[in-house]
Structure 1
Amino acid sequence: MKKSLFSLAALLLAGFTATAQEVKYEELDLDNGLHVILHQDNSAPVVTVGVMYDVGGKDLGGTPETGLRTGFAHFFEHLLFEGTQNIDRGEWFKIVSSNGGSNNANTSLDRTYYYEVFPSNNLELGLWMESERMLHPVIDQVGVDTQNEVVKEEKRLRYDNSPYGQFLFAVSDNLFSKHPYKNKNIGEMSDLDDSTLEEFKAYFKKWYTPSNAALVIAGDIDVAEATRLAKLYFEEIPGGEVPVRNFQKEDPITEALEATFYDPNIQIPAIITGYRTPGFAERDSYILNMISTYLSDGKSSKLYKKLVDDKKMALQAGAINIPQQDYSIYAIYGLPLGETSLEALLAEMDEEVVKLQTELISEKDFEKLQNKFENQFVNSNSSVQGIAASLATNYMLYKNTDLINSEINIYRNATREDIQEVAKKYLNPNQRVVLEYLPKKDEK
């Protein structure tokens, strides 16, 4: 019977694999250093044009003389929609929507990504707009002041006034003392208020250049024609110098750190353990993804079932691997129910980690894990927009565009022993921050 079950699992795994079609693409470098990635998929008359810049929240603005400023990359995510020499202020979104398209941008601590999705007959329009953004955006005081207010409102809504909105900030601030990952991606509003127009212009000149960017064109295209248009609109843009980073290395955490954070928007406290783990390109980081899925993906996961369903000790419990390029963050958290203390909840959370370190997970649980990652892999490549983002990310941050096809092999080749060893290597009490995330007391 056991052999039959394994055979069935193998068949299911093969079924997932069969549906994961290879993503074909072509790459070239323009003379100015811009990397271009092209993926042809003529199944629907849609095209995605995206530009990823190798700049994120870890890259500070300002100067040592004026003071280093947080939040610049995120600020530019907004500012670069203000307009260009050929696109009037307020017209960007109108042009996109009136031509049947949509667009957006997002910023992490490691990169910024802008993209448009158009009917494929508007490919040239998308390329022109992104070349306009790169070549000569209008960066003036009106735009800076306007977007400053927009960012302040976003910060208030998403973080300052949102329950548990400071969760990641509180963990990062205690895990990092030297690396700029300790800073908020959205930045400190005082930094943006104190920044000058000249500082913003200098930041753009340094980071938003062809030599620091990747252009991805994916969808219903002819590769030769898309290549011609990419050269037409981007090749004459001055390349610029490739910025050099020199971040300080963090010292290893060898003794448990205790910290407290007060959130005025909550009534129920939380206990969080945070671990500094390898950058997302390291194999161990992939194994940590598997561990977090095992512990907290869904109501049947180990932490939820034990602490929420069975023991009724927690309202919520989970684990998450927060991937970053230089160092990642692994966090385990719980919100106590009733009279459960934070200490008691922490002990139960730690017990599940110790089980991972001392026992191999069951073969059945391991098969479920691998099937989940196969499914995620297939889904991530199920849309042209998703493929475009993956191609750009894999080239820019992982230095390996073909991860879009080969990344799943890391999970396929993982073993139960790998999970045990990685848990023993990184998830130890002397290597972490224990954060009590508490309601802010009323000030009298």
Structure 2
Amino acid sequence: MIRKISSAFCALFLTFSGFAQEVEYTEYDLDNGLHVILHQDNTAPVVTVGVMYHVGAKNEVEGRTGFAHFFEHLLFEGTENIARGEWFNIVAANGGSNNANTTADRTYYYETFPSNNLELGLWMESERMVHPVINQIGVDTQNEVVKEEKRSRVDNAPYGKIIYGTGINHYMFKKHPYKNTVIGTMADLDAAQLDEFKAFFDKFYGPNNATLVVAGDIDTKDTKEMIKKYYAGIPRGPKVESINIKEESITSTIKAKEYDSNIQIPAKLYVYRTPAMNERDAYVLDMISSILTDGKSSRMYKTMVDDKKEALQVLAFPRSQEDYGMYVLGALAMGETPLETLGSSIDEEIKKLKTELISENEYQKLQNKFENNFVNSNSSVQGIASSLATYHTLYGDTDLINKEIEIYRGITREDIKKVANEYLNENQRLDLDYLPTPDSE
């Protein structure tokens, strides 16, 4: 079927004109369950081929955390027809670039090539899907790579436990696998046997658990023929059951302390459990985050950094996820400012959102900002490919790439007040003091 999405060029005028030029995309299913989305844009000779697998950290079993992220690395090792260590060389030699990323909910691989190498990109991703070589040499090699990534990004990075959730998740979730982190534990990966890695691949990396996106300088008819050639014969994998684990509501404040030997500046953090990413309230929380801390004109920055000079920096970000989200709100202390003082100031700003409507001027600035964010997210074929895959895989509605901005446009000042009252309550949060370890002070 044919859908419409907004052109990035004309969308630059959305704020003023209220509409944008539209381009077409097509989506369909192969008999083996592979969902295909094609976006044709012949303005530049570039094409992105991406495959999103509906598997992330939440699909791992207890005691084997980190598998999905591990496979983000392992599936670049090589295939039956791509020699070990040659994946990146092939891409670079053909003028391309590639990457992959993993969340709690999905894993995404992509290549961007000059458009005359479209078939190469399609072949390489089909090789990853059907012919990967999973052996002990590859597992041992990538185990060391992941360990180094964990050391550099989490263990030895200032505030790494907050950024990557190792200091938060287990407080917010007791039953759901979101209690674990995407990178997992090295003990779990060390203990895993080769057969377990092979079984994980067989369970989750079939075409029926994947979305293939091709965006850019293509001919839709020719591309369909190439996709049929390389993907139609791949056998369907086992059915992947959805995670359906319900958490009990948080009804009293969770008070905790976490220590980090990499920091000198303590932080006060409030963390709230929030709705799934496809619920309207999650979009409202995005806007609340922007009101509070997005830029030097935000409320918390002006009050706590500029006026009171009690915070060195402020932060607020929703961690959107498929089943539940988290909303992290906090500040880094300036000088000897007590964390209790930071907490009181944050609560004052939350109270204002709960009791007063934001001004019409602030509301219009907020709408303009989200219009601009929407344009930027789809300003390249690489961004469009990622968005198309995400909207289909995690939201179940590819056309959100066109409609999502309407959700933000429909959020009112009254909605912002209502959602603040529903979710940003003292008895529904983690109250976390994030401190330097005593030895580092």
Q: TM-score, normalised by structure 1?
A: 0.94
Paired AA for residue 379 in structure 1: N
Paired AA for residue 101 in structure 1: G
- Residues 338-396 of structure 1: per-residue CA shift (max 9 Å, x gap): 22100011000000001000000000000000000001111111100000000000000
Q: Which residue of 1 aligns with 2:66?
A: 71
Q: Which residue of 2 aligns with 1:162?
A: 157
Partner-residue secondary structure (3-state), 2:330: strand
Q: Note if contact 1:16-1:378 (Cα within 8 Å) is conserved in structure 2.
A: no
Paired AA for residue 160 in structure 1: D
Paired AA for residue 63 in structure 2: L
Measured after TM superposition, the shift of residue 226 of structure 1 is 0.3
Paired AA for residue 336 in structure 2: E
Q: Which residue of 2 aligns with 1:46?
A: 46
Q: Which residue of 2 aligns with 1:55?
A: 55
Q: Note if contact 2:15-2:371 (Cα within 8 Å) is conserved in structure 1.
A: no
Partner-residue secondary structure (3-state), 2:90: helix
Q: Note if contact 1:23-1:405 (Cα within 8 Å) is conserved in structure 2.
A: no
Match of residue 376, structure 2, among 364, 376, 379? 379
Q: Note if contact 2:15-2:368 (Cα within 8 Å) is conserved in structure 1.
A: no
Q: Note if contact 2:56-2:68 (Cα within 8 Å) is conserved in structure 1.
A: yes
Q: Which residue of 1 aligns with 2:359?
A: 362
CA distance in 1, matches of 2:204, 2:388: 20
CA distance in 2, matches of 1:241, 1:138: 20
Paired AA for residue 33 in structure 2: G
Measured after TM superposition, the shift of residue 58 of structure 1 is 1.1
In the superposition, relative to structure 1, how do residues 138 and 242 fare at CA in structure 2: closer, same or farther (>3 Å)?
same
Partner-residue secondary structure (3-state), 1:346: helix
Q: Which residue of 2 aligns with 1:398?
A: 395
Partner-residue secondary structure (3-state), 2:109: strand
Q: CA RMSD in A?
A: 1.3
Measured after TM superposition, the shift of residue 16 of structure 1 is 6.1
1:151-190 matched pairs, under 5 angstroms: 151-167=146-162, 168-190=165-187
1:168-247 matched pairs, under 5 angstroms: 168-247=165-244
Q: Which residue of 2 aligns with 1:6?
A: none
Say whether residues 1:112 and 2:113 are aligned partners: no
Partner-residue secondary structure (3-state), 2:304: helix
In the superposition, relative to structure 1, how do residues 99 and 422 fare at CA in structure 2: closer, same or farther (>3 Å)?
same
CA distance in 2, matches of 1:23, 1:377: 16
Partner-residue secondary structure (3-state), 2:215: strand
Q: Which residue of 2 aligns with 1:3?
A: none
Measured after TM superposition, the shift of residue 442 of structure 1 is 2.1
Q: Note if contact 2:59-2:243 (Cα within 8 Å) is conserved in structure 1.
A: no
Task: Structure 2: give runs of 5+ residues left out of the alignment.
Answer: 1-11
- Residues 226-265 of structure 1: per-residue CA shift (max 9 Å, x gap): 0010111001001112211344211000111101111111
In the superposition, relative to structure 1, how do residues 161 and 14 fare at CA in structure 2: closer, same or farther (>3 Å)?
closer
Match of residue 85, structure 1, among 80, 88, 92? 80
CA distance in 1, matches of 2:46, 2:246: 44
Partner-residue secondary structure (3-state), 2:39: strand
CA distance in 1, matches of 2:396, 2:241: 16
Q: Note if contact 1:272-1:435 (Cα within 8 Å) is conserved in structure 2.
A: yes
Say whether residues 1:419 and 2:416 are aligned partners: yes
Q: TM-score, normalised by structure 2?
A: 0.95
Measured after TM superposition, the shift of residue 317 of structure 1 is 1.0
Match of residue 136, structure 2, among 141, 161, 186? 141
Q: Which residue of 2 aligns with 1:281?
A: 278
Paired AA for residue 85 in structure 2: G
Partner-residue secondary structure (3-state), 1:292: helix
Paired AA for residue 280 in structure 2: R
Measured after TM superposition, the shift of residue 46 of structure 1 is 0.5
Paired AA for residue 15 in structure 1: F
Paired AA for residue 293 in structure 2: S
CA distance in 2, matches of 1:23, 1:311: 49
In the superposition, relative to structure 1, how do residues 207 and 384 fare at CA in structure 2: closer, same or farther (>3 Å)?
same
Q: Note if contact 1:47-1:218 (Cα within 8 Å) is conserved in structure 2.
A: yes
Paired AA for residue 83 in structure 1: G
Measured after TM superposition, the shift of residue 105 of structure 1 is 0.4
- Residues 100-157 of structure 1: per-residue CA shift (max 9 Å, x gap): 1100000011100000000111000000000000001000000000000000000000
Partner-residue secondary structure (3-state), 1:422: helix
Say whether residues 1:121 and 2:116 are aligned partners: yes
CA distance in 1, matches of 2:418, 2:170: 28
- Residues 69-108 of structure 1: per-residue CA shift (max 9 Å, x gap): 1000000000000000000001100100000110000001
CA distance in 1, matches of 2:115, 2:327: 41
Match of residue 305, structure 1, among 302, 305, 308? 302
Paired AA for residue 285 in structure 1: A
Measured after TM superposition, the shift of residue 68 of structure 1 is 3.2
Q: Which residue of 1 aligns with 2:9?
A: none
CA distance in 2, matches of 1:396, 1:231: 21
Paired AA for residue 236 in structure 1: G
Identity of aligned residues (%): 64
Measured after TM superposition, the shift of residue 171 of structure 1 is 1.7
CA distance in 1, matches of 2:175, 2:380: 39
CA distance in 2, matches of 1:176, 1:21: 43
Q: Which residue of 2 aligns with 1:30?
A: 30
Measured after TM superposition, the shift of residue 170 of structure 1 is 1.3
Q: Note if contact 1:17-1:374 (Cα within 8 Å) is conserved in structure 2.
A: no
Count of residue pairs brought into register by the alignment:
427
CA distance in 2, matches of 1:293, 1:86: 48
In the superposition, relative to structure 1, how do residues 12 and 100 fare at CA in structure 2: closer, same or farther (>3 Å)?
closer
CA distance in 2, matches of 1:14, 1:297: 19
Partner-residue secondary structure (3-state), 1:442: helix
CA distance in 2, matches of 1:240, 1:280: 27
Measured after TM superposition, the shift of residue 318 of structure 1 is 2.0
